[in-house]
Amino acid sequence: MEKRKINPQEKIDQVIRAARKLFVKKGYRGVAIPEIVKESGVSVGAIYLHFGNKEKLAETVYEVTLRRFMGLFSERLSGKESIQGKLRAFSELAFEITEEDSEMMEYMLSVRKEIRSDLLLPLCSSDAFKEVQMIINDGIASGEIKSGSDLVAAVSYTGVIIRAVELRLQGVLEQPLQEISDELIKNAWAGIVAE
Amino acid sequence: MEKRKINPQEKIDQVIRAARKLFVKKGYRGVAIPEIVKESGVSVGAIYLHFGNKEKLAETVYEVTLRRFMGLFSERLSGKESIQGKLRAFSELAFEITEEDSEMMEYMLSVRKEIRSDLLLPLCSSDAFKEVQMIINDGIASGEIKSGSDLVAAVSYTGVIIRAVELRLQGVLEQPLQEISDELIKNAWAGIVAE
DNA sequence: GTCTATAGCCCGATAGAC
DNA sequence: GTCTATCGGGCTATAGAC
């Protein structure tokens, strides 16, 4: 703890942050390694030593971001018991991240199959979506959510939330999402609640 | 009509179609001109003669696709009088294009600011979205849609529809959208209808 | 371990034959 | 008008000094 020799992990984090920022702005192929060098302050050699190549770097950025989001989501979920409360927790987390770490949210929505890697699907279609879908399954089972396809219900609910995030990031929605959070969550819920 | 000399417009269209297909698959920067040559059967020289450069080609692809979508949308809207009917027309058009010309829909959802050009916002945030918002404004004025922010209502409705399209294109939704169209449209409407 | 310098490659755009 | 051959530039990845 007292040793204070420069932490290699710190450099790695700087590279990941810089890379994500640039990927969001210009896309994977639009970002050259020398740009990441300038943005992160870490040299080309160090980047290739730690990440191997550009594609591996992108995959690491993806995994770190995904892990962080799922961690935050789990935290928020704990303690919530009602279906409605869990879905509200998901929505409010999405809104908060959008306002407080818009770069992270923008990255999650913009990751596409630009990279050859087949593993890189848009974050919000993968684990987080599955988690929401399980919550909705429970809601249908308990009768709180109207019966029908559970997938359709999940699409309907998350659609409202994610679209709001997208349009906020694009500047179409000018107020912070927290200010319209209640209205949005009410609409999303109204779409799927049992009458 | 009998002259039958090769139509230059035909070649242009082939290039546009090929370029859009490849842009969807690999992103603007991921596509090299020689690939477009191979896909379209039109030579490098001809492409540069007609489009000037790669960026202009991308802009043309964008404009042509936008114009086509807005045209189809206008057609569908004519004759519809109720607010609910107009919104249904929008939704069903989106679902139909997704199933019958998935490349066009995927392009519309995937166009990002990859190109330097500032004019290229995601299609579904621009004119089509504004059109839907006007319909919703009318609905609020007439009392069919619950009062509140008109933007929020538009976000809520289109969110359900667009998210369904996205997940269908990604293969998460396995049935054709027409089969779940009614359920989706009912959910989207339930989110914003006056009680 | 970390850097800079550069090799090697591929792309966009053009020039000039037909 | 349409083609092919090619140039210059910028990229990723590596080699070798420190």
Distance C12 C1' – A170 CA (angstroms)? 31
* B1-52 and B61-190 have identical folds: no
Q: What is the pTM of this model?
A: 0.91
3-state secondary structure chain B: CCCCCCCHHHHHHHHHHHHHHHHHHHCHHHCCHHHHHHHHCCCHHHHHHHHCCHHHHHHHHHHHHHHHHHHHHHHHHCCCCCHHHHHHHHHHHHHHHHHHCHHHHHHHHHCCCCCCCCCCCCHHHCHHHHHHHHHHHHHHHHCCECCCCHHHHHHHHHHHHHHHHHHHHCCCCCCCHHHHHHHHHHHHHHCCECC
Nearest to A97 by CA among A155, A23, A178, A34: A178
Q: Tell which strand C nucleotides have any atom below 7 Å from a protein Cβ.
A: 1-6, 10-16
CB contact at 8 A, B107 and B24: yes
Question: How many CA atoms lie less than 13 Å away from A173 in the CB half-sphere?
Answer: 28
**Interfacial residues of B (vs A; Cβ cutoff 8 Å):** 26-30, 110, 112, 114, 121-122, 125, 129, 148-149, 151-153, 155-156, 158-164, 166-167, 170, 172-173, 180, 183-184, 187-188, 190-192
Contact A174, B149 (CB under 8 A): no
CA–C1' span, B119 to D1, in Å? Answer: 31
* pLDDT at residue A2, rounded to an integer: 36
Please provide the average confidence, as pLDDT, over all residues in chain B. Answer: 89
pLDDT at B21 exceeding the cut of 80: yes
pLDDT, mean of residues B170-184: 95
Alpha-carbon distance of B60 to B45, in angstroms, equals 17
Domain residue spans of chain B: 1-52, 61-190
Whether B172 and A125 lie within 8 Å, measured CB to CB: yes
- CA distances A154 to A127, B29, B46, Å, are 13, 34, 48
- Of A145, A142, A169, residue with least CA distance to A156: A145
* Whether the predicted pLDDT of B174 surpasses 70: yes
Q: Does the distance separating the beta carbons of A184 and B152 come in below 8 Å?
A: yes
pLDDT band of residue B119 (cuts 50, 70, 90) is low
Amino acid residing at A114:
E
Contacting residues for A99 by C-beta, under 8 A, at least 6 apart: A176, A177, A178
| Average pLDDT rounded to a whole number, residues A62-78 | 92
pLDDT at position B10 is: 82
**Confidence band for B2, pLDDT divided at 50, 70 and 90:** very low
* Joined tokens for residue B101: 């010309």
Residue B99 CA from chain centroid, whole number: 12
Q: What is the mean pLDDT of chain A?
A: 89
Domain covering A1-52: architecture: Orthogonal Bundle (1.10)
- The domain made up of B61-190 has a fold known as Tetracycline Repressor; domain 2 (1.10.357)
The pLDDT tens digits of the residues spanning B105-117 come to: 999 888 866 776 5
Query: In whole angstroms, what is the distance from residue B125 CA to residue B108 CA?
Result: 10
Q: By three-state DSSP, how is residue A193 classified?
A: strand
Q: A43: pLDDT confidence band, cut at 50, 70 and 90?
A: very high
User: Who contacts A119 (Cβ-Cβ below 8 Å, separation ≥6)?
Assistant: A59
Structure tokens, A110: 């913009």
The pLDDT, as a whole number, for residue B120 is 62
Protein CA A50 to sugar C1' D11 (Å): 20
